[in-house]
Structure 1
Amino acid sequence: MKIKFPLVVVFTMATISSFATFASNTAGGEEQWQIVEENQTATPAASKPAQSSQKSNQSRSSSRSSGGNSGFKIGMGLDQGLSIVGQINNTVNFAVGNDGVAADYIFSRGQFGGDVPFSWFAGVGGQIQRSDKFGPRVALGVELPFARSWDAYAQLTPNLMFDNSDLKLGIGAGIGVRYSF
């Protein structure tokens, strides 16, 4: 059975889009936890000041950040072959590898909510590969901070490649580990 490649790309993008929409709809809810010792009653959540929930959200988001203050991350990965990968100011991902170069502007980010340690991102960019191939691409992926100043990522990159006078639709993938300075 031969499946048409454009259908696979459309299905993949629709699935990721649905997942991102679901995540953004569920991530907005506030979690409210209270420790109640024996022989005490719980105080209603409405009596807590709004600042404490904002502080807890800030501390939760800062605990998920991968550290570093300069906004520059660099590491190794597989994107354009074996690549040096990086990120600038949490908005531009790039890869320079054996098979070419790529850069993506990240226009949207979000959390899956709850205790899920992953965050998602979506971006647009382009790539230039050896042998005169070039074209635009979309980056859809997840990031996981796993240690102080370290994060890992995985992404799918549907793309259009111009090769001489041909136009080819394709999909790529990338994984990598980065250190934040």
Structure 2
Amino acid sequence: MKKNLLLGLPFIVLSPWIHANESPQLAVGMAFDQQLSVVVEVDDTYRVTAGNDGMAFDYILKRGVIDPETSMSWYVGVGAWNEWNDVFGARVPLGMNVNFYDGWNLYAQVHPELNLYKGPELQLSGALGITYKF
């Protein structure tokens, strides 16, 4: 039950927003997050990652510019993750973006995680990905 709820959460959250916005910006790519993963990002705000080990949903709260000349920026968000073996929890992605070519974005992040499966346990993980914005 928990697994199905967590898997459906991104679609429940995004559904009203996607229908209200006529043309959301969509970025699709690959990452090493939940092992090898597919990444879908909507309007630089919502990121859904599904991979070999599980899936994650992140909401990017704040972005800022590090260096305008190199298109380098930072971000912080909140999210949830679920592994296919029913392990789940919350996370706080802290990352950097580099827009290195027209429409192409490289990102790296660390995310402190709170594993909630058999009681609260803090852990640290990370992700590296590339997306193309349509």
Structure 1-normalised TM-score? 0.59
Structure with bigger strand share is: 2
Residue type of the partner of 2:123?
A: G
| Pick aligned residue for 1:175 from 102, 114, 128 | 128
Superposed structure 1 runs of 4+ greater than 2 Å apart: 113-117
Structure 2-normalised TM-score? 0.78
| Pick aligned residue for 2:87 from 133, 146, 169 | 133
Q: RMSD of aligned C-alpha atoms?
A: 1.4
Secondary structure of 1:90's counterpart equals coil
1:101 aligns with 2:67: no
Residue type of the partner of 1:176?
A: G
Residue type of the partner of 2:56?
A: A
Cα offset for 1:166? 2.9
> Structure 1: how far apart are the matches of 2:75 and 2:91?
14
User: Which residue pairs with 2:36 in the alignment?
Assistant: 82
Percent identity between matched residues is: 37
Cα offset for 1:142? 0.5
Cα offset for 1:85? 1.0
Q: Deviations over 1:85-141 (max 9, x none)?
A: 121011111210000000111110000145343100000010011221111100100
CA 1:145 to 1:116, structure 2 compared with 1: closer, same or farther past 3 Å? Answer: closer
Unpaired runs of at least 5, structure 2: 1-22
| Pick aligned residue for 2:107 from 143, 147, 153 | 153
Secondary structure of 1:166's counterpart equals coil
> Structure 2: how far apart are the matches of 1:116 and 1:151?
12
The total of aligned residue pairs comes to 112
Unpaired runs of at least 5, structure 1: 1-68
Cα offset for 1:146? 0.8
> Structure 2: how far apart are the matches of 1:89 and 1:115?
22
Rg larger in structure? 1
Structure with bigger helix share is: 1
